[in-house]
Amino acid sequence: MTDPAARADFIRAHLPVTPVPGIPSLRLHKAGPASGVGRLGDAAPYWAYWWAGGLVLARYLLAHPEQVAGRRVFDLGAGSGLVGIAAARAGATRVVASEIDPHAQVAIALNAALNDVHVAAIEGDCTGGDVPPVDLVLVGDVFYAPDVAARVTAFLDRCVAAGVTVLVGDPGRAPLPVARLTLLAQDAVAETGTARPAAVYAYHAP
């Protein structure tokens, strides 16, 4: 499936609108047992599921709107768009999402509309490009594989060197660059049934 309109139709028809665990004021299209997301192609549809790092970061932003209000935000590895949507709800002036998965890009637009927020642009892989013109980069559960983590870490190092604030939400996955992180908050979030610990970190230079 390559047509964006067909992708949107599939998401609307097969991924039910679901309250975000622990954030009932937000709702997203998410996969259920009968969604059949395997029909969308070979890439793992990360955007169709909950991720502890995104959940903890979204909750943190809504509880601490001073971290994001009035700021220009870049949601790196946005998935379903949860973190950027929470940032917009918390008062960000402009939200740009970045996702390599074209189905996720469609889902982000649908989910933003569903929650009455505006995502100004939905971009692809920006990690090899210039530091985006933003105040804050948000990273929800993107350190899930060593190759992805290496690419993202190099990009975030350039962001902080340019003066951009970076916040990371993560449940402590193995490739997390812990030497660059300072703990800001801990929480327990439920990706599926049982809640697991996850944390929000400020990212700094090595």
105 token code pair? 């890009």
User: Does the protein bind ligand SAM through residue 144 (CB under 6 A)?
Assistant: yes
User: Does the protein bind ligand SAM through residue 150 (CB under 6 A)?
Assistant: no
CA-CA distance, 172 to 153, in Å (whole number)?
15
Nearer to ligand SAM, 100 or 202 (CB): 100
Residues numbered 167 to 206 that lie near ligand SAM (CB under 6 A) are none
Question: Which of 10, 51, 74, 201 contacts ligand SAM by CB under 6 A?
Answer: 51
CB of 141 to ligand SAM, least distance (A): 4
Piece of the chain touching ligand SAM by CB under 6 A; list 3-11, 12-20, 50-58, 181-189: 50-58
CA-CA distance, 201 to 187, in Å (whole number)?
12
Nearer to ligand SAM, 46 or 165 (CB): 46
CB of 100 to ligand SAM, least distance (A): 4
Question: Which of 10, 47, 201, 203 contacts ligand SAM by CB under 6 A?
Answer: 47
CA-CA distance, 87 to 82, in Å (whole number)?
9
In 3-81, which residue ranges form alpha helices assigned H by DSSP? Answer: 4-14, 52-63
Question: Which of 127, 166, 170, 180 contacts ligand SAM by CB under 6 A?
Answer: 127
User: Does the protein bind ligand SAM through residue 158 (CB under 6 A)?
Assistant: no
Half-sphere exposure of 121 (CA within 13 A, CB side): 14
Beta bridge partners of 170: 199
CA-CA distance, 174 to 49, in Å (whole number)?
20
What three-state secondary structure class fits 155? Answer: helix
User: Does the protein bind ligand SAM through residue 106 (CB under 6 A)?
Assistant: no
100 and 120 Cβ atoms separated by less than 8 Å: no
CB of 166 to ligand SAM, least distance (A): 14
CB of 206 to ligand SAM, least distance (A): 20
The helix or strand, by DSSP H or E, that contains position 182, with its residue range, turns out to be strand 181-189
What three-state secondary structure class fits 61? Answer: helix
Residues sharing a CB contact under 8 Å with residue 7, sequence separation 6 or more, in sequence order: 1, 40, 102, 103, 106
Residues numbered 68 to 97 that lie near ligand SAM (CB under 6 A) are 76-80, 82-83
Q: Which residues bind ligand SAM (CB under 6 A)?
A: 46-47, 51, 53-54, 76-80, 82-83, 98-101, 104, 125, 127, 140-142, 144, 148, 151
